[in-house]
Amino acid sequence: MSATPTLKPRLNVFLCAPRGFCAGVVRAIDIVEHALRKFGAPVYVRHEIVHNRYVVEGLKRKGAIFVEELDEVPDNGAPVVFSAHGVPKAVPVEAESRKLLAIDATCPLVTKVHREAEIHYRRGRKVVLVGHKGHTEVIGTMGQLPEGAVVLVESPEDVAALPFPADEPIAYVTQTTLSVDDMQEVVNALQEKYPQIAGPHKQDICYATTNRQEAVKEIAHKVDAFIVVGSPNSSNSQRLKEVAERNGCRRAQLVLRATDIDWSQLEGVASLGVTAGASAPEVLVEEILDAVGEKFELVIDTITTATEDVSFPLPRTLREKVA
């Protein structure tokens, strides 16, 4: 008599939509791939093109070489791509002085923040940047203006410590990948301390960051556990994990690949939320669902909170017909 097969426990999976790649990430990856087709390998990329190791390794296999600084790029005519997070102004100046073929993959929504900061500075305002110290995007934004012209704040406590008088002409801009709620706390503190402070006409936090956080908020209080697909160095992915925790789901984990799953966090759960950061490809979501499906009988439901149809054109250098 054959043994009765062990039935897998049922797991209701709620997939967030939208999730995964945003328009800025798609454009950045497309830029590297178009450059490889047009100019051939190698194509140099300053910093990770997006914060996802899987994506970076895939581009390396196609002929991209990732460097930290331009002094690692040889003067051999090979193109160099600036990452989606943006770079300080000194970087393209150096590239031009060396006659490097520079291609800027900065997300247009990050470029918008750069332009805002420059306008405020030209109008004589002190510029405050709300963001995370050391993040690539923050370094790029602060590098748009002379050293010391931008003051970084990360919390309401940082705002309280600002030395400017209440009547000082002042403006703020923000990193595009912050937690919407955290950002609002800091902005509220700025507006309370500096009632005349100037801000962006439209929120600097990008549409994709906002939409992905809203989708997580919709699901987090309904599930026993949450998996955010993304890299540990991805700011927007880290924020999604935090949003899940703050909105009622204590078992939230950020994983890049299926091998990173902490299975102890899924013991005894009946429902699971799944999303992906803006730099995480859908293939990794599928890989993780396949891994979970080996241990559970999955019932998958997609929860859609917004529809995205944003796209950004390639730089002019790459718009010509690719051979």
Point out which residues pair with 44 in neighbouring strands.
65, 80
* Residue 296 DSSP class: S
Answer for the pair 278, 209: CB distance below 8 angstroms, yes or no.
yes
Q: To 10 degrees, what angle do helices 53-62 and 23-39 make?
A: 10
At which residue do the structure tokens 């410590």 appear?
161
Answer for the pair 243, 254: CB distance below 8 angstroms, yes or no.
no
Answer for the pair 137, 112: CB distance below 8 angstroms, yes or no.
no
Q: What number does CATH give the domain 10-21+207-304? A: 3.40.1010.20
Answer for the pair 135, 174: CB distance below 8 angstroms, yes or no.
no
Per the rule left: phi > 0, alpha: psi between -120 and 50, beta: everything else, 248 is left
Active-site residue identified among 137, 147, 287, 320: 137
- Is this model's pTM higher than 0.85 or not? yes
Residue 137 annotated in active site: yes
**Tokens coding 248:** 């009622």
Render pLDDT for 10-68 as a digit per residue (tens, 0 to 9): 999 999 999 999 999 999 999 999 999 999 999 999 999 999 999 999 999 999 999 99
Alpha helix segments (H runs only) across the chain: 23-39, 53-62, 90-97, 108-122, 136-142, 156-160, 180-193, 207-220, 235-246, 282-293, 316-319
Please give the CATH architecture assigned to the domain spanning 109-193.
3-Layer(aba) Sandwich (3.40)
If you classify domain 23-107 with CATH, what class do you get? Answer: alpha beta
Ramachandran angles phi, psi of 116, nearest 5°: -60, -45
Domains 23-107 and 109-193 share a fold: no
Cα–Cα distance between 197 and 194 in angstroms, integer? Answer: 5
Which SS3 state, helix, strand or coil, does residue 115 take?
Answer: helix
Q: What is the pLDDT along the chain (323 residues), one digit of tens a residue?
A: 455 556 899 999 999 999 999 999 999 999 999 999 999 999 999 999 999 999 999 999 999 999 999 999 999 888 999 999 999 999 999 999 999 999 999 999 999 999 999 999 999 999 999 999 999 999 999 999 999 999 999 999 999 999 999 889 999 999 999 999 999 999 999 999 999 999 998 888 899 999 999 999 999 999 999 999 999 999 999 999 999 999 999 999 999 999 999 999 999 999 999 999 999 999 999 999 999 999 999 999 999 999 999 999 999 989 865 44
> What DSSP string describes 37-63?
HHH-S-EEEES-SSS-HHHHHHHHHHT
Question: What is the pLDDT, as a whole number, of residue 323?
Answer: 45
Question: What is the pLDDT, as a whole number, of residue 7?
Answer: 87
Which helix (DSSP H) or strand (DSSP E) does residue 298 occupy?
Answer: strand 297-304
* Residue 177 DSSP class: T
Question: What is the pLDDT, as a whole number, of residue 70?
Answer: 96
Cα–Cα distance between 158 and 263 in angstroms, integer? Answer: 38
**Best CA proximity match to 73, nearest among 108, 109, 97, 52:** 97
Which residues have C-beta within 8 Å of that of residue 198, sequence separation ≥ 6?
A: 120, 125, 170, 171, 172
> 33-41: long-range contacts (C-beta < 8 A, 24 or more apart)?
33/59, 33/62, 34/314, 34/318, 34/322, 35/79, 35/81, 35/103, 35/318, 36/62, 36/63, 36/64, 37/322, 37/323, 38/318, 38/320, 38/322, 38/323, 39/78, 39/79, 39/101
Write down the domain spans for the chain: 10-21+207-304, 23-107, 109-193
At which residue do the structure tokens 């956080």 appear?
213
Cα–Cα distance between 287 and 291 in angstroms, integer? Answer: 6
